[in-house]
Structure 1
């Protein structure tokens, strides 16, 4: 059943031209991992303005593709605030997560008020944002042992535990990150399962078959994007992700699908993306080369469907149902149709 939240296609987006009802795509998508607050969507590349602010054009292309929900990633305190601001700007379409990414965990040590103050501010953002209907998950939190040059292992472990405890206190579903840290990551989650009834999503998953199956057995969903299908091993894992535990995302402006990826051969039936041009030749009708966008979620869905040898409608509806069930996204929870969530 639909809630009373405004339809993003008919309300709240006066600055964005949206497709009329007869032209709306039949497939609907929830991009549950999109870094829409990144300055690159405002025309700033490496802190230099390369073209005009084109966020509204990015949003329009998403709507034209069939994107109906976007969950904007909060990767630290300021980015969480920025994600919430966009959720307010695009009601019914955009929602926010709140948390500190493991690669940004040093901010707990450098925050002017110390760790306890940073945790307090994160809590305040969640409480207010959840009350307003803008915040739907706690994250992006987790562990990243691939990039210890950003933050050491000890700090990551401590701050992950602190944020998990805060998520338990707030009873929020988790938006999780794990890279080369499966053992510690799984152990910290397993120890708290009884306190995390809403579980969460391990986004941008690139782990092994065993790692995926273990997370699924713990009750977590798996987020698939372009980076999740780079190699043949990745593809084999995606094939085995249960549809009732699958969600899809772009993780734009990163994780674009490329011709060199193993997933490329599964895109034969995928719709073509809008033309992409170099940022120096920017046009409002075009994507920017090297900058992934929410509209590209159609390719993620079609690749997953081809890999799993099912029709794309089945993938889209399963992912949509799973995303709404876990995160709400302004809707009444849909029928699970046997979904064991």
Structure 2
């Protein structure tokens, strides 16, 4: 989409540089590009090397795990490990990997389970935090994480939309909870988020997906609005309608601040929550730069 291509059709000029510049203007100082398989991880790293604020991850998404099957498996794993070792200043996490039972049409459950387990070799050998994907699979994900607990230090369950009990189980493993628009769709989601400890939260966009939509329960808590136009009427000074981008992370923050106002007291609650979430992210992914 940041190349201007939607469903195979070119709708406007590539504008990724403009999107990144808009993110910087709106206060972002680091952006992590997630890798979905070996090829995506290479492309994410190639992109990360074009700008000092960009970083990347290396891993194989659960819906892509068929690529890890067969005789090529260990060469594939070795290539991912080498990609991390060759780029220590840019690769900040292992992932996106995990389990996705909502999209078994892309990859069967048994293949996902086998190759989620396999990628802990990557985590153990690189010592990097985990960037975890979980869709309708919390029980199995927790079981595998517990069995491999001595092979990783910490990480984040990104785009979390589960129950409080599931979140508590992830927190008990030393993990953090990552929130975006998809985490804040329903009133039940908001009730869960309101109970989570600030010192274990992160925020994200997962752009170009997971924007906060007008139909979401969280939409009423958003204060910052960005002008947008349909993709066919693209202009560099406005966002593309329904295409999420990094600048919109401020909206996720505003939702969290507003739903936690009734749960906690602080002299400057907005600054406290903002600083806490920022420091959590730095501590996990950028420990050398963390205060």
TM range (shorter): over 0.9
Look up the match of 1:272: 225
Matched, 1:99 2:59: yes
- Once the two structures are superposed, the pairs formed by residues 66-215 of structure 1 within 5 Å of their partners are 66-91=27-52, 93-109=53-69, 114-130=72-88, 133-197=89-153, 199-215=154-170
2:198 corresponds in structure 1 to: 243
CA contact (8 A) 2:138 2:166 kept: yes
Which 5+ residue runs of structure 2 have no aligned equivalent? Answer: none
TM-score, length-scaled by structure 1: 0.81
Offset of 1:194 from its aligned partner? Answer: 2.4
Can you list the C-alpha shifts for 1:102-125, whole angstroms capped at 9, x where unaligned?
011112237xx6111111111111
Q: Please report how far the alpha carbon of residue 304 of structure 1 lies from its aligned counterpart in structure 2 after TM superposition.
A: 0.6
1:49 is the counterpart of 2:10: yes
| Cα offset, 1:324, TM superposition | 0.8
| Distance in 2 separating the partners of 1:276 and 1:144 | 32
Tell me the residue number matched to 1:259: 214
Kindly indicate whether the alpha-carbon contact (under 8 Å) linking 1:143 and 1:177 is maintained by their aligned counterparts in 2: yes
Deviations 1:238-282 (A, max 9, x none): 111211100000000000001110101212xx2222x11111100
Q: Moved runs in structure 1, 4+ residues, more than 4 A? A: none
Aligned to 2:285, which of 327, 332, 340? 327
Q: Secondary structure at the match of 2:30?
A: strand
> What does residue 35 of structure 1 align with?
none
CA offsets 1:118-144 (integer angstroms, 9 cap, x no match): 1111111111121xx010000000000
If the length of structure 2 is used for normalisation, what is the TM-score? 0.95
Aligned partner of 1:303 in structure 2 is: 255
1:227 aligned residue: 182
Give distance in 1, aligned partners of 2:5 and 2:104. 27
Q: Post-superposition shift, 1:47?
A: 2.6
What 5-or-longer segments of structure 1 have no aligned partner? 1-39, 335-341
Which one of 151, 162, 171 corresponds to residue 216 of structure 1?
171
SS in structure 1 of the partner of residue 69 of structure 2: helix
Measure, in 2, the Cα distance between the counterparts of 1:316 and 1:156. 35
What is the deviation of 1:333? 2.0
After superposition, the CA RMSD in angstroms is 1.3
> How much does 1:326 deviate?
0.4
